[in-house]
Amino acid sequence: MPELDEVKQADSASAAEHPFEVERIRQDFPALTLSVHGQPLVYLDNAASTQKPVSVLDAVDRCYREYYSNVHRGVHHLSQKATDAYEEARRKVQGFVGASRAEEIVFVRGATEGINLVASTFGRSRVKAGDEVLITEMEHHSNIVPWQMLCEQTGATLRVAPIDDRGEVILEEYEKLLNDRTRIAAIVHISNALGTINPVSRMVEMAHSRDVPVLVDGAQAAPHALVDVEALGCDFFVCSGHKMFGPTGIGALYGRWDLLSTMPPYQGGGEMIRSVTFTKTEYAEPPARFEAGTPNIAGAIGMGAAVDYLQGIGLETIGRYELGLLEYATSALSAIPGVRLIGTAAHRASVVSFTIDGAHPHDVGTILDREGIAVRAGHHCAQPVMDHFGVPATVRASLAFYNQRQEIDRLVSGVEKVKEIFN
């Protein structure tokens, strides 16, 4: 793993192509200049949602000010301009995730809706009583509950691949759980509670060797790692704009064309039809088939701008820089007596989850907030992970490329303060 100094050198070597200067980058984010309780904000809640660069704010603003209209329906100038921008955003997301065609990208509200869409449409048409759906123990509730609901509706069984005490999926168990009854596997790429990076392409290969399609929950991967759905080999991939420095209320589902094109609709309404009579409705081809009603036009355009922003820096550059920061945070926090790290997988990204002896995570979060430090305290919508580690909650510091070592130092001082209060 590269040290931060090596990262800096590597970054400056490729600087001509992708300059990465954190101080300059921070100036793109108005929220990073905020003060909280009289202290400069240290924003370490990026796994929950990220701050927005000016280019995203401007793209959304320009859409509403300069060419806003409904999409796909109008022959007039504004509608055509809005439609062009909306479809251009789809092509940007296509390029970002490495899909081979823009029609494989469906705009949804976020990762949660993308998973619900697949569970409801692909799931309802392919899963029946006696079948199995395979997930892992480290899933976010968004990648548990929709499958549980599907199983309840169909009589199928939810199977769960266990994790070990470092927070890694036990691959032999995962492989054993794949069988002739498995209809779909749904796995998280990077865990929001533990930071674990799963060996997704290997897990996809294992599933595909049994003809099991795989959905990858990429909510935490898209902002931190280069995603390539073709290289991962997955059949579905979901991500959320708001975790990628884009607007809230927008996200994307990638679906392999041969699967997507055979799936029944998700919601009914305008936009998703080819023709409607009272006796029969013919559905449009994807992606329109899955985008009933007026979509989040400005949100999609803002997500496209976020993709441009991320690609302007370069996901590989981001990943390298964040890894240095993660190493720094991990070693600083683990050196504090009484701090227990939850999630120590060999490959992690951007998340440090921990507990402090004698202090409830919610109290820790509140005390850190008084110091201007935003972290998350709770179960992170991953209660089974908390159960695995025998804790009700953790404190989670989650990083982005705009964070700096001195912010980690402030977190460490905050943790020391918590210890003084509780010991």
What residue ranges bind ligand PMP (CB under 6 A)? 47, 110-112, 140, 142-143, 188, 192, 217, 219-220, 240, 242, 381
Q: Which residues are CB-neighbours of 263 under 8 A, at least 6 positions away? A: 121, 122, 125, 255, 286, 289, 290
Report the residue number, 7 or 200, with the smaller CB distance to ligand PMP. 200
Q: Rounded to whole angstroms, how far apart are CA atoms 325 and 343?
A: 16
Smallest separation (angstroms) from ligand PMP to the CB of 150: 17
Q: Rounded to whole angstroms, how far apart are CA atoms 355 and 364?
A: 9
Report the residue number, 112 or 120, with the smaller CB distance to ligand PMP. 112
Tell me the three-class secondary structure of 229-261, residue by residue.
Answer: HHHHCCCEEEEEHHHHCCCCCCEEEEECHHHHC
Report the residue number, 144 or 206, with the smaller CB distance to ligand PMP. 144
Smallest separation (angstroms) from ligand PMP to the CB of 66: 28
Going from the C-alpha of 29 to that of each of 24, 26, 148, 401, the distances in angstroms are 10, 6, 39, 12
The sign of the dihedral angle between the CA atoms of 270, 148, 98, 61 is: positive
Smallest separation (angstroms) from ligand PMP to the CB of 215: 11
Going from the C-alpha of 292 to that of each of 91, 181, 189, the distances in angstroms are 19, 32, 28
Residue 81: closest CA among 59, 101, 66, 102: 66
Q: Let me know if 239 is a catalytic residue.
A: no
Question: 267 with 288: CB under 8 angstroms?
Answer: no
Question: 274 with 283: CB under 8 angstroms?
Answer: yes
Report the residue number, 34 or 381, with the smaller CB distance to ligand PMP. 381
Report the residue number, 143 or 330, with the smaller CB distance to ligand PMP. 143
Q: Are strands 351-356 and 394-398 parallel, antiparallel or unpaired?
A: antiparallel
Going from the C-alpha of 169 to that of each of 166, 198, 315, 347, the distances in angstroms are 9, 7, 25, 12
Q: Rounded to whole angstroms, how far apart are CA atoms 385 and 193?
A: 8
Report the residue number, 239 or 411, with the smaller CB distance to ligand PMP. 239
Tell me 351's DSSP state: E
Smallest separation (angstroms) from ligand PMP to the CB of 113: 7
Report the residue number, 386 or 418, with the smaller CB distance to ligand PMP. 386
Q: Which residues are CB-neighbours of 262 under 8 A, at least 6 positions away? A: none
One-letter amino acid of 183: R
Per DSSP, the three-state class of 181 is coil
Tell me 48's DSSP state: T
Smallest separation (angstroms) from ligand PMP to the CB of 138: 9
Annotated active-site residue in 151, 234, 239, 381: 381
Give me the active site residues, please: 381
